[in-house]
Structure 1
Amino acid sequence: MKLLLTILLLVHGLIHLLGFLKAFELGQYPMLNAHIGRAQGIFWLLGCLFILSTAVAFYFNQKLWPWLGLIALIISQILISLHWSDTKYGAWFNLILVCIVVPGIGEYVFDKRVSAEVKSLNDSKKIHFMNEEDTINPKFLPPIVSQWLKNSGGIHSDTISRVHLLQKGRLRTKPDGKWMPFEAEQWFSIPEPAFLWKTRVQMFGPFFLTGRDKLITGKGSMEISLLSLIPVVNARDEKGIDEASMTRFLAEISWFPSAITQPYISWEALGPYAAEATFTYEGQSTSGVFTFNEQAEPISFEAMRYMKTGENAKREKWKIRNLSFTSFQGIRIPIKSEVVWELEEGEYHWLTLEISEINYD
């Protein structure tokens, strides 16, 4: 679809070149009956260049492509209106341009807003970290959690305060729904527990969803929009949203195990290969159970989490199964996971993800 739209834009741009060539008498163009002066010819050339630039920038995901497209659209439509009898069919190409430029501008504004929110994440370097002697003392951590911290390399990562990662995968919105591919970017703050997750979900054809999920200063919120323009979900300041976001943060410390020793997380052993973690912050608490294999790798996380928010919010069993592990910057973490809801009517496998890149600061 993207390649087809690019080709259509390239053809549309090259057609504008005809107006420039006719204005400067560089050939015969019987399909253009109206007189085109040289001044107008310059604008036909500009229209051509802006549309071609838009096509290339759109194909290669350059950030400013929607604004190039907006300029191209304005120039093109003015020229088409001035010579309507000869060029009216070009308006159909401009309609296609409108259909990609408007959502493109919406996504650009969305990305800028998320970038501003990322800057608000606390970047304090004051991290509480236990020394190695403390971590093997059951008074502080269950033995399997201490082993996880050491085996993962987290015990040597006491300078980490920020985490940035890229994800890809697929999700669906109901148990029998169509799988939709997504790409996501996520930022974490460890000293003051917070995260911000941005995603783009490809629905079908040119239709997509953009989403932003966050936890900052103990407050959670989620936004989902169709084509970055039409709100679908806007959850904030309602029952369940803060706790649900905190539960997500707790589950995702698997990607930055140095957070194991942060004072806002407490631990209780549940046997040789399981431990319950409780995350307490800003007067709220949430808990979940990590289960480990013999190598002290966290193979699953399970918690009662709000599936929906608002007046009818209800906790359901939420589980993450970690499928494979690898090391980034000397820290071993799960990189492939599937997320399920265990409902009364059966298991709802709603998301599968893979970490493609992670950076620790």
Structure 2
Amino acid sequence: MILLLMIIGVLLLVVLLGKITMFLKFKNQVKVLYSNALNISDKTYTISQLNGLPEPVQRYFNYVLKDGMSYISLVRLKHNGLFKTNLKKAFINIKGEQYFSAQKPQFIWKGTTLFFTARDSFIADNGNLKVSLFNIFTVVDGKGTEINEGEMQRWLAESVWFPTNLLPSENITWIAIDENSAKLSFLYKEISFDCIVTFNTVGEIVTMETQRFMTNKREPWLCKMENYKEINGVKIPVSAEVIWKLKAGDFSYAKFKVTAIKYNQNISKRIL
């Protein structure tokens, strides 16, 4: 009995140490992201920037932004929701914490479930997907050009949470399609891709679709956004769903709901 209790105690200690180590690694990655970020919060959005944009794109920015507001440089958010580790498996509960920089494309996300912790990131021009079982055993460590492109696609789709990032820039061009959709062309160094963006009559972005790598082959990847709310003076969707649109059918694997979000907050302040 004593031996069993000792074994259990050692296992609990190992799990605790793994959790602490994971926290410190994540905190360090956040510091690196912030150190690389460029401050653009002194830049001001004006309605005149919308001149010449496709009509549904103008409708979107008129709906989510206010004339004269500051650009968003940094974002920190938390979410809860559901996630699938495999498209054939059931959804499990997940809680996430995420940080973004806008002017220099970067993000770091940590998703935590009962058994594993995932870290998805694009920092200093390098993407990485790492999954750890019990915060100890690394079971996935994805890197390379395909991962880099996929992480940039995630960062761009999640820019609906900091919409000044979707304004025309050296990286972003909007091209008209019809009254409720437009093509968003993205270019950053060697990474380039297009997203088809659909809007409703109110002006909300409802879907963003692109071709994303899945096991060495690009497949249609769709993000659905809904439940827009005004937070910190910006209208954003607090609910999002991510779907692979495969020949076998549509496979939803992530359903997130934003529970807290802060803009342009200094890293020295308490994490949400």
TM-score by length of 2: 0.90
Q: SS at the partner of 1:240? A: helix
User: Residue 254 of structure 2 aligns with which residue?
Assistant: 351
**2:194 paired with 1:282:** no
CA distance in 2, matches of 1:129, 1:272: 28
Measured after TM superposition, the shift of residue 92 of structure 1 is 2.2
**Contact residue 255 and residue 334 of structure 1 kept, 8 A:** yes
Q: Which of 160, 163, 170 is 1:257 aligned to? A: 163
**Contact residue 110 and residue 119 of structure 2 kept, 8 A:** yes
CA distance in 1, matches of 2:97, 2:197: 24
User: Residue 117 of structure 1 aligns with which residue?
Assistant: 29
The one-letter code matched in structure 2 to 1:148 is: Y
The one-letter code matched in structure 2 to 1:132 is: I
Q: Which runs of 5+ in 2 are unaligned?
A: 265-272
Measured after TM superposition, the shift of residue 130 of structure 1 is 5.2
User: Residue 330 of structure 1 aligns with which residue?
Assistant: 233
CA RMSD between the two structures: 1.7
**2:116 paired with 1:229:** no
Measured after TM superposition, the shift of residue 154 of structure 1 is 5.7
In structure 2, do the counterparts of structure 1 residues 155 and 180 end up closer, same or farther at CA, with 3 Å as the change threshold?
farther
Q: Which of 297, 301, 322 is 2:204 aligned to? A: 297
**2:242 paired with 1:242:** no
Q: Which of 225, 230, 242 is 1:339 aligned to? A: 242
Kindly provide the CA deviation profile for residues 278-306 of structure 1, in whole angstroms up to 9, marking residues without a partner as x.
22112221221111111110111111111
In structure 2, do the counterparts of structure 1 residues 282 and 345 end up closer, same or farther at CA, with 3 Å as the change threshold?
same
CA distance in 2, matches of 1:274, 1:101: 53
- Give the number of aligned pairs: 260
Measured after TM superposition, the shift of residue 268 of structure 1 is 0.7
CA distance in 2, matches of 1:215, 1:99: 33
Between the two structures, name the one with larger relative contact order (CA 8 Å, sep ≥ 6). Answer: 2
- Relative to total residues, which structure has the larger strand share, 1 or 2? 2
Kindly provide the CA deviation profile for residues 57-93 of structure 1, in whole angstroms up to 9, marking residues without a partner as x.
xxxxxxxxxxxxxxxxxxxxxxxxxxxxxxxx33322
User: Residue 142 of structure 1 aligns with which residue?
Assistant: 54
Measured after TM superposition, the shift of residue 270 of structure 1 is 1.2
Map 1:196-215 to 2 at 5 A: 196-202=108-114, 208-215=115-122
In structure 2, do the counterparts of structure 1 residues 116 and 154 end up closer, same or farther at CA, with 3 Å as the change threshold?
farther
Q: Which runs of 4+ in 1 moved over 6 A?
A: none
The one-letter code matched in structure 2 to 1:131 is: T
- The structure with the largest alpha-carbon Rg is 1
Measured after TM superposition, the shift of residue 186 of structure 1 is 0.5
Kindly provide the CA deviation profile for residues 6-34 of structure 1, in whole angstroms up to 9, marking residues without a partner as x.
xxxxxxxxxxxxxxxxxxxxxxxxxxxxx
Task: State the identity %.
Answer: 28
